[in-house]
Structure formats: C-alpha cells, structure tokens
Amino acid sequence: MSDVVLDVRDLRAWYGTEGDPVRAVDGVSFEIRSGETLGLVGESGCGKSTLGRTILGLLPEGAATAGEIRYRNRNLVTAPPKEVRALRGPELGLIFQEPMTRLDPLMTIENHFVETLKAHESDAKEKEMRRRSLDALGAMGIPPTRFKQYPHEFSGGMRQRIMIALALVLNPKVLVADEPTTALDVIVEGQILEILADLRRNFDTALLLITHNLGIVAEACDRVAVMYAGRIVEQGDARKVFAEPAHPYTRALLESIISLATTDLKYIPGAPPSLIDPPPACRFHPRCPSAMRVCSTKDPIEVSIAAGHVTECWLHGPEDEIPAGGEQPLEREEIAVAEEA
C-alpha cells in the first residue's frame, strides 16, 4: 500500500432534486498507485464523470458526498473546501472532456497559463511562468510561435493538447482525464495517448482515464474498473479482465465492440436505469441474460476471481449467501414484475 497515491473507499455522491436525489456514485471503492493508469469504463449516465469531479471537489452546489477519498493521509471528502481547492492543480489535475468549452475565447493561450500559475503560485516571476508554460506546450508538440494565439485558431486536437499542458504545468501527482480523446480522429487520439503514456513514465503520475472506448483501455491502461448505475461491478488487470470478463455487463460491453471481423452487430438490450430509482439488488439484472432470482432480491457481494480481479455478481457466489432456489434462471416476465414492485 506504500505506493498507493489515491485510495477511494465507499464513495457516494448524489445530486438534489425536487423529488428523490440522483445517486450518481453509490458506494464505489478503488485505488490508484504511483505511475499507474486506471481506466474507468461504462455507458453514458453511469456516473463516471461525476466520480472524477467528486475526487477533485468540483461538484455543483446542491450535491452531497460521503465516504473516503484518501490522498496524502487526508480524507478529501471531509476536508475543508479551501484545503481541497489548494490541492487542485499542483496535486490533483483534471483534463476536461471538451476543450473548447473550457478555454476562454477572449484569452490568449499565454493568458490561460499565466492565470493558472498565478492562482497557485502568486509569487512566480513572469519569466519563470513563461518558461514553464512554453516547456509544457513544447512537450505537447505546440511551438512557442503560437503562444499568443487564441483558442479558435487551433484545431480540436491542438486544443486538447493545450488542455493537457495546462493540467501538467503544475506537475500534479494525480490526473483525472475525462474522455480526453472524444471527437478526435484516430491519428490525433494515438498522439494524445502517447503523451499520457510519457507522462506516466517520466513523472510517475497516477492517471484515472475515463472513457467509453474499450480499445483505449486495452492499449493504455494497467487496470480497468467497469462502472454501471453508480457502482463498480468489476475491476482488475486490464488484460485479464478483457481476456476473461467475470461480470455479464463487462462481457456485453466487449461483445458490442465492432472490428473488421464483425459480421453481426451485438448490443445490450434496454437502457441504463434511472439513478433516482435504480433496480433493486443487482442493478444490471433487468438487462442481464444470466439473471437469477437472487439477483433481483439481494445485493451482490464483491467476490475475488483472481489476485487483484474482483466482481459484484451472484454468478460467482459466495454460494453460502445464495438463498435456496437462487441459482434458478430469472425469466423475463419475472424481471418485469420485480421491476414494477
């Protein structure tokens, strides 16, 4: 545990509404070690981005959190907002999903860097800020001749590089990358992934990579966590999980991937559930082809499949927790009745 940089335990985050709260993150646990990349995957609406923002204390007003986010022997969930704000940037970094919505169109790239550095290092000298900014941009392949240009003068891939450079100029120990390759072509995507790999190798940065793209996870991540309806249903070594997925949801995601050998399109029937009122017990059981009666009546328990590979699924036990008859398949009609109840 000595090299664990970020340790998340039973983390919960929910948004207030006029009715019941939206439980976007509902009891999530994982850890990231120094120099490690953890890929967080799942369908849209499962809580991935909320989880990333919770780690950095960036949830909007009206949101609430519980559980633990252990960083440097402190719990960021209960830490004063001022303390978390001070960590954000020099210790905890974030690459946003869409750079054009995060870069001020009225500010030059130079001004973005100056603002970032002054916010955390008020005594930094102008010459030093310029050097560090140009070094960060240079590492992203952006020449100094473009330092005084505006965001609209750059392509989508270049803007994403600028966002990464802004996150890296303060050398954070933990970096959350929220869909960093969205809407980029495969060539630029590969370049961004190589930059993130260099970051890990050269600076021992712990990286949480949030993505829909399982191919990116297979290529760039050491471990993978599969998220569904606010819960992490499976996690472990990326290659082992992809080779032998234990949870039906993980298997369904992998089967949905399209390749040059694809002849029949496969998909997961139905849609992710509402996070205001998710299904009882296992949240995937209404869509699961392997659902049993126990899946609709009792919350699954985390089970170890192999060293470092765990899942929450009754298909893997523990058998002494399964009620009599729980091993029987759950028919589609029974699932509908359970859902209505």
Average pLDDT over residues 51-68: 94
Closest C-alpha among 89, 81, 78, 22 to residue 49:
22
pLDDT band at 24 (very low <50, low <70, confident <90, very high): very high
Where is pLDDT greater, at 189 or 142?
A: 142
Average pLDDT over residues 12-20: 91
Residue 251 has pLDDT above 90, yes or no: yes
Please tell me the total count of domains within the chain: 2
Q: Compute the CA torsion angle 291, 297, 301, 305 (nearest 10 deg).
A: -20
Average pLDDT over residues 242-246: 96
Residues 197 and 293 in one domain: no
Q: Is residue 257, in this structure, part of any structural domain at all? A: no
Residues 169 and 314 in one domain: no
Last residue of a domain, one of 209, 228, 247: 228
pLDDT band at 333 (very low <50, low <70, confident <90, very high): very low
Residues 13 and 96 in one domain: yes
pLDDT band at 229 (very low <50, low <70, confident <90, very high): very high
- Which has the minimum average pLDDT: 171-175, 197-201, 202-206, 241-245? 197-201
Q: Is residue 34, in this structure, part of any structural domain at all? A: yes
For residue 62, give the CATH number of its domain: 3.40.50.300
Count of CB atoms within 10 A of residue 86's CB? 13
Residue 338 has pLDDT above 80, yes or no: no
Last residue of a domain, one of 228, 262, 293: 228
Q: Is residue 240, in this structure, part of any structural domain at all? A: no
Residue 324 has pLDDT above 90, yes or no: no
Q: What pLDDT, on a 0 to 100 scale, did the predictor assign at position 330?
A: 58
- Which has the minimum average pLDDT: 16-25, 197-206, 223-232? 197-206
Q: Compute the CA torsion angle 97, 101, 105, 107 (nearest 10 deg).
A: -60
Closest C-alpha among 283, 254, 259, 281 to residue 271:
283
Tokens representing 161 are 């590089």
Residue 184 has pLDDT above 90, yes or no: no
Pairing mode, strands 302-306 and 63-71: unpaired
Residues 223 and 286 in one domain: no
Average pLDDT over residues 2-7: 88
Angle made by CA atoms 333, 335, 340, in degrees to the nearest 5: 100
Q: Dump pLDDT digits (tens) for 80-127.
A: 999 999 999 899 999 887 777 789 999 999 999 999 999 888 888 999
H helices of the chain, where? 48-55, 81-87, 109-120, 126-139, 156-168, 186-203, 214-220, 238-243, 248-255, 332-340
Contact indicator for 31, 6 with CB cutoff of 8 Å:
yes
Helix (H) or strand (E) holding 30: strand 22-33
Residue 194 has pLDDT above 90, yes or no: no
Pairing mode, strands 206-210 and 37-41: parallel
Residue 325 has pLDDT above 60, yes or no: no
Contact indicator for 62, 15 with CB cutoff of 8 Å:
yes
Average pLDDT over residues 218-241: 96
Residues 109 and 185 in one domain: yes
Q: Is residue 64, in this structure, part of any structural domain at all? A: yes
Q: Which residues contact 215 (CB under 8 A, 6 or more apart)?
A: 257
Where is pLDDT greater, at 200 or 301?
A: 301
Quick one: how far is CA 175 from the chain centroid?
Answer: 11
Q: Is residue 249, in this structure, part of any structural domain at all? A: no
Closest C-alpha among 50, 44, 38, 61 to residue 12:
50
Closest C-alpha among 52, 149, 144, 57 to residue 103:
149
Residues 42 and 184 in one domain: yes
Q: Is residue 265, in this structure, part of any structural domain at all? A: no
Residues 209 and 317 in one domain: no
Q: What's at 63, amino acid-wise?
A: A
For residue 296, give its domain range.
279-340
Residues 46 and 167 in one domain: yes
